[in-house]
A and B are shown apart, each in its own frame.
Chain A
Amino acid sequence: MEIVVAIGIGVLATTGVYLILRPRTFQVIIGLSLLTYAVNLFILAMGRLVVDGAPLLTEGADPSTFADPVPQSLVLTSIVISFSMTALFLVVLLAARGITGTDHVDGDGMSA
């Protein structure tokens, strides 16, 4: 399980980083999304992987088997913030396309 998650994090981070370094705005926005997934998983992984241990204090639940709730709340915050960032970036992207006439991140058609 740990290995699969680690590979998942690695692939998401690699594709994300590669895309945010690309010159087209849409590539960057997709890259940010992928990178966010990687980072969120990474944060969750810092609480170790726990199966069947949702931190819900139901009757008879044993708190010692719980997954760490702290990384979870951090990730929840992260999801919200990255949603805001995506929305803002999208609008900036559209406005920039309208003003500069190109979808290059630096407003020109140069470089790969």
Chain B
Amino acid sequence: MTIAATYLPVLALLPFVVGMVVAFLPRHARNAAAALAGATALAGLLITVLSYGGVTEGAVLRQTWSWLPDLGLELTWRLDGLSWLFALLVTGIGALVVLYARYYMAAEDPVPRFFSYLLSFMGSMLGLVLSGNLIQLLFFWELTSLLSFLLIGYWHHNENARDGARMALTVTGFGGFLLLVGVLIVGHVVGSFDIDAVIAGRDALMASPLVTPAILCLLAGAFAKSAQFPLHFWLPHAMAAPTPVSAYLHSATMVKAGIYLMMRLWPVMAGNDTWYYVVSLAGLVTFLLGGIAATFQYDLKGILAYSTISHLGLITLLLGLSTPAAAVAAIFHTLNHATFKASLFMAAGVIDHETGTRDIRRLSGLLRHMPYTGTLAIVAAGAMGGVPLLNGFISKEMFLTETLAFHTGSLLDRLLPLIATVGSAFSVLYSVRFIHQVFFGPEATDLPRKPHEPVSWMRLPIELLVLICLVVGIIPNLSVGPLLRSAVVAVLGTEAPRFHLELWHGFTPAFMLSLVAMALGAGLYFALYRRLANRETRDRPWAGRVRARRIFDGAMTGLFAGAGFITRLAGTVRLQPQLFLIVLAAVVAGAAPFAYHAVTQAGAGLTLGTRPLTPVSLPFIVVWAFGIASAAGAAILAKFHRLAALILTGGAGLAVCLTFVWLSAPDLAVTQLLVEIVTTVLLLLGLRWLPARVATKEDLERSRAVVVARRGRDLVLALIAGGGMATLALAAMTRPRVGGIAEFFTANALEGGGGRNVVNVILVDFRGFDTMGEITVLAIVALTVFALLRRFRPAREVVGSTRQQRRQDAYDEARSDREVGDTARDYLFVPRIVMHLLFPVITLFAIHLFLRGHNAPGGGFAAGVAMATAFIIQYMARGTRWVEERLRVLPLIWIGTGLLVAAFTGIGAWFFGRPFLTSAHDHLHVPLIGEVSLASASLFDLGVFALVIGATVLMLIALAHQTIRSARTGPSAQDLEGATSAPSPAAAEPAVKLGEAGGD
């Protein structure tokens, strides 16, 4: 029975979905989390097993989702024999690891988080092997790195875990980056990222001069992931992860991702010289060094980690040899290694769990206490060492056979059998050591805990894996023969060599080598026994591990120091030089093309055009005389006379506003005017908290010459920038307008957008997405303003009443017929009544602006600002307390509603099969009112309207509230002293919790 390819995405995405669900389980819900995770893994296993029929003899299951068709990128889910084998490992071992982890993790660990990570990792790994194109593969590749980081650092209170996690992420992330480069090169040469296309494009790739860099980059990625020398050093540090993670990620699956990639690309790359030398040599060195390093480890997991490195090196070496038979051996060993190494890690975890230590020198004679687990571990370690009747033996034999075969006749090729035998001897050595030191010998005396057998559920995964080791080791051809065949055909094509897995090949040369390796390993063990069993030995004869770590740390320190140095050298945290340089760069960039033109085409620099000037009217000149004077005044007064500067800025703004009216931009004029009002109010509110600036002694003492020079310099730059802009504007305005997209917008506004106001239709319809982003910015700014003001501590000089308030209060106090506060209450009495009565008028005006917006100047933004003005005027007229006793403004609700309305209007288009924010409109005839035009864009505009009200009001109110807060914290002298050093608790509390109001 075959499951259709439609289920492939489910296979990859289901773990992510369940992982999300698990993440929200309560902290102690470990049974529920484990059950969900286990069910997901089993479901994945089921889908994998059922889809086997679709991947035999080179058949491929494919499912394509359109992703970025314009870039030729699609989400392709592709399952063939090779990826099937990996999917089987990921789901099968995944299920076992989940079961194991349920009993391994302590009750106090936040287990749902663990299973959530684990499931997401499972999904990433499945996504990786199911990816039909390289970009997609890369995406999941990076996800596995990230989740590995999270899983290694799961016990983040532990420093080793944090360091190990960071190192793993740095190394694999670095590899991932190079992989990206490699993939881009391959995609560039082949013209497609699709894996089948890349395989088909082998000849083009091999002929390209880019083939060597491509191979090197791809290999760097694969080596970093699969812990190949010299990028192997992160793996031992990753052992700080919980043992189920080590068993799953760092032996059975994730580290095999690099191997998978090399297998995937094998048909493309194998046979290339670079590939042959780099892959074989890296594999060989890793195989040998890993074996030697594993020998001298004292930590059980350390032994297993280096052994994993060594075995990965073996697989890599086989892939590097580039012969079909070697590839078969590599695939087979991948499978075998996953089974015996996962079970060994689980056994090591059991030992750690039950005895309290992983130090092999303290453990001894454990077989007495845990005969069952001990036997299982011994069998698994036998498989690791390559003992006959176990799966490791068969693939090791295939490996040795391959090393004996003639490949290229190079020196490497000739030395291969010798080195392979020595490497195998070390693998025998550490396996023997693992078995002998842990399970045999005298009874251990000083174990932290009294050892005993674990619960049987914890043992079950080990039992199953060891059973597989035995079955594959005894009846290989019957058990995994067909599966292996499918995987091999997927890599090598239908001309793949016919192979027959057999336990006994007779006294072949390979078997002889195997015997030599075993004898050598056992002999070496007894020769080194004293040293290895000695607890006092501190030095490590093989310092490779230490050195790699040091180089890494040194490199990281160097990177940070270098970055810091460059930042100090080329950067500054000071605003003034930054702004100066930005303006200078803008001026240079603006002038450069003209200067270039003037030089190359003698004289044709920045010239004026011939378009006739628009006749000027006197009032316009008057407006601008006024505007220019205001701007200049503002510039001069901004330092010491802030209020005057603010008013003059408003004057300049008014000139701009009138210019908008004059130059046929009514929408801009309306918006500018309203924003001008709100900005001024906002700045006025802010001025209350900005102490007056007076010329201090320091100001006077400062060197006059320096100050003048600085100002002169800035003025020159300002004149150049301003003059440049003016000239540029004039040069553009004196040339005829070149047709652009404006004609399209004008022609389609009524037909396509259902509105007569072209500017408004552009904003809410044609360019609705921009507006969506813009209102989001506004909402974020409002929330940021609110957040910043929550903990706001004003300058100490302005805390308490203002001078005017004090004078008013003093006047009240001096009179017997007045109470304190009377004058303040009566202040501007008549205007206040008028302002109070303006509320409904402005509201009506705002609604009017909104409703006409689509067809006449106005629109949601202007209406929203107008409405906000109505609110703030009430605050000004009657005071914060009075308003809030009578009116509940919930700005956060307004913001949220607005954003949701706008977003859902956009999403609504999806239900009609259109892209986001596609608008629709219709004209209705309503009795009495007449023709009414209805456009979905108006609904979007309603969202803008609501959001702008909320955001503007939130900012204004947050500032206005500071007065109440300040009054409450009290202006007494002691408080003032205290406020400068530490804020009183009351000051830290916002006086009025707008956030709570928003929750209603």
Which A residues contact B (CB, under 8 angstroms)?
1-24, 26-31, 33-34, 37-38, 40-42, 44-58, 63, 66-70, 72-73, 75-77, 79-81, 83-88, 90-95, 97-99, 101, 103, 105-106, 109, 111-112
Q: Are B857 and A76 in contact (CB under 8 A)?
A: no
CB distance from B609 to the nearest CB of A (A): 10
Contacting residues, chain A, for B711 (C-beta < 8 A): 112
Most buried by A among B711, B722, B746, B857: B722
Which B residues contact A (CB, under 8 angstroms)?
573-576, 579-580, 583, 611, 613-617, 620-621, 624, 627-628, 631-632, 634-635, 638-639, 642, 645-646, 649, 652-653, 655-656, 659-660, 662-668, 671-672, 675, 678-679, 682-683, 686, 689-691, 693, 698, 702, 706-707, 710-711, 714-715, 717-719, 721-723, 725-730, 732-734, 736-737, 740-743, 745-747, 749-750, 756-759, 762-763, 767, 770-771, 774-775, 777-778, 781-782, 784-785, 788-789, 792-796, 855-857, 861, 955, 959
In the bound complex, how far is the Cα of B700 from the Cα of A112, in angstroms? 11
In the bound complex, how far is the Cα of B686 from the Cα of A88, in angstroms? 11
Q: Are A77 and B745 in contact (CB under 8 A)?
A: no
Q: A33-B649, A55-B746, A66-B746 in contact; A38/B725 too (CB < 8 A)?
A: yes
Q: Which of A24, A55, A112 contacts B707 (CB 8 A)?
A: A112
In the bound complex, how far is the Cα of B683 from the Cα of A26, in angstroms? 10
Q: Are A87 and B719 in contact (CB under 8 A)?
A: no
CB distance from A66 to the nearest CB of B (A): 6
In the bound complex, how far is the Cα of B857 from the Cα of A34, in angstroms? 25
Contacting residues, chain A, for B717 (C-beta < 8 A): 17, 21
Contacting residues, chain B, for A91 (C-beta < 8 A): 686, 784-785, 788-789, 792, 959
In the bound complex, how far is the Cα of B794 from the Cα of A4, in angstroms? 43
Contacting residues, chain B, for A31 (C-beta < 8 A): 635, 638
Q: Are B770 and A21 in contact (CB under 8 A)?
A: no
Between A and B, 29 residue pairs with Cβ closer than 8 Å are A1-B614, A2-B734, A5-B733, A6-B726, A10-B725, A13-B718, A13-B722, A15-B635, A22-B714, A24-B639, A31-B635, A44-B660, A44-B663, A47-B742, A53-B664, A55-B664, A66-B742, A69-B746, A70-B741, A72-B759, A76-B861, A80-B774, A83-B778, A84-B781, A87-B782, A91-B784, A97-B689, A98-B792, A112-B706
CB distance from A43 to the nearest CB of B (A): 10
Q: A56-B756, A77-B771 in contact; A109/B698 too (CB < 8 A)?
A: yes
Q: Are B639 and A27 in contact (CB under 8 A)?
A: yes
Closest to B785 in A: A91
Q: Which of A18, A46, A67, A112 contacts B663 (CB 8 A)?
A: A67
Q: Are A44 and B638 in contact (CB under 8 A)?
A: no
Contacting residues, chain B, for A86 (C-beta < 8 A): 679, 682-683
Among all A-B residue pairs, the 3 with the closest Cβ atoms: A10-B726, A14-B722, A18-B718
Contacting residues, chain A, for B631 (C-beta < 8 A): 11-12, 15, 34, 37
Q: A6-B729, A30-B645 in contact; A94/B628 too (CB < 8 A)?
A: no
Q: Are A52 and B691 in contact (CB under 8 A)?
A: no
Contacting residues, chain B, for A51 (C-beta < 8 A): 614, 662-664
Q: Which of B616, B682, B746, B763 contacts A73 (CB 8 A)?
A: B763
Q: A18-B715, A69-B746 in contact; A54/B698 too (CB < 8 A)?
A: no
Q: Are A48 and B679 in contact (CB under 8 A)?
A: no
Q: A6-B733, A51-B663 in contact; A105/B792 too (CB < 8 A)?
A: no
Q: Are A81 and B579 in contact (CB under 8 A)?
A: no
Q: Which of B642, B667, B675, B718 contacts A72 (CB 8 A)?
A: B667
In the bound complex, how far is the Cα of B583 from the Cα of A48, in angstroms? 25
Contacting residues, chain B, for A7 (C-beta < 8 A): 624, 628, 726
Q: Are A84 and B778 in contact (CB under 8 A)?
A: yes
Q: Are B762 and A73 in contact (CB under 8 A)?
A: yes
Q: A10-B726, A77-B771 in contact; A54/B666 too (CB < 8 A)?
A: yes
Contacting residues, chain B, for A5 (C-beta < 8 A): 624, 659, 663, 729, 733
Q: Are A34 and B634 in contact (CB under 8 A)?
A: yes
Q: Are A69 and B747 in contact (CB under 8 A)?
A: no
In the bound complex, how far is the Cα of B682 from the Cα of A95, in angstroms? 15
Most buried by A among B613, B617, B726: B726
Q: Are A57 and B758 in contact (CB under 8 A)?
A: yes
Contacting residues, chain A, for B719 (C-beta < 8 A): 14
Most buried by A among B615, B660, B758, B782: B758
Contacting residues, chain A, for B639 (C-beta < 8 A): 22, 24, 26-27
In the bound complex, how far is the Cα of B681 from the Cα of A87, in angstroms? 11
Q: Are B575 and A105 in contact (CB under 8 A)?
A: yes
Q: Are A18 and B725 in contact (CB under 8 A)?
A: no
Given contacts A14-B723, A34-B631, A87-B679, 15 further A-B contacts (CB under 8 A): A8-B656, A19-B638, A21-B714, A24-B693, A33-B649, A33-B653, A37-B631, A68-B737, A69-B742, A70-B742, A73-B759, A98-B689, A101-B795, A103-B691, A106-B574
Q: A34-B634, A84-B778 in contact; A2/B682 too (CB < 8 A)?
A: no
Q: Are B665 and A8 in contact (CB under 8 A)?
A: no
Closest to B786 in A: A91
Closest to B788 in A: A91
Contacting residues, chain B, for A109 (C-beta < 8 A): 698
In the bound complex, how far is the Cα of B794 from the Cα of A95, in angstroms? 7
Q: Which of B574, B645, B675, B746 contacts A83 (CB 8 A)?
A: B675
Q: Are B730 and A6 in contact (CB under 8 A)?
A: yes
Q: Are A18 and B778 in contact (CB under 8 A)?
A: no
Q: Which of A18, A54, A85 contacts B635 (CB 8 A)?
A: A18
Q: Which of B576, B660, B742, B774 contacts A106 (CB 8 A)?
A: B576
Q: A6-B729, A6-B733 in contact; A88/B781 too (CB < 8 A)?
A: yes
In the bound complex, how far is the Cα of B735 from the Cα of A46, in angstroms? 10
CB distance from B884 to the nearest CB of A (A): 21
Most buried by A among B718, B725, B794: B725
CB distance from A88 to the nearest CB of B (A): 5
CB distance from B885 to the nearest CB of A (A): 26
Q: Are B671 and A2 in contact (CB under 8 A)?
A: no
In the bound complex, how far is the Cα of B732 from the Cα of A44, in angstroms? 11
In the bound complex, how far is the Cα of B734 from the Cα of A3, in angstroms? 10
Q: Which of A17, A40, A58 contacts B756 (CB 8 A)?
A: A58
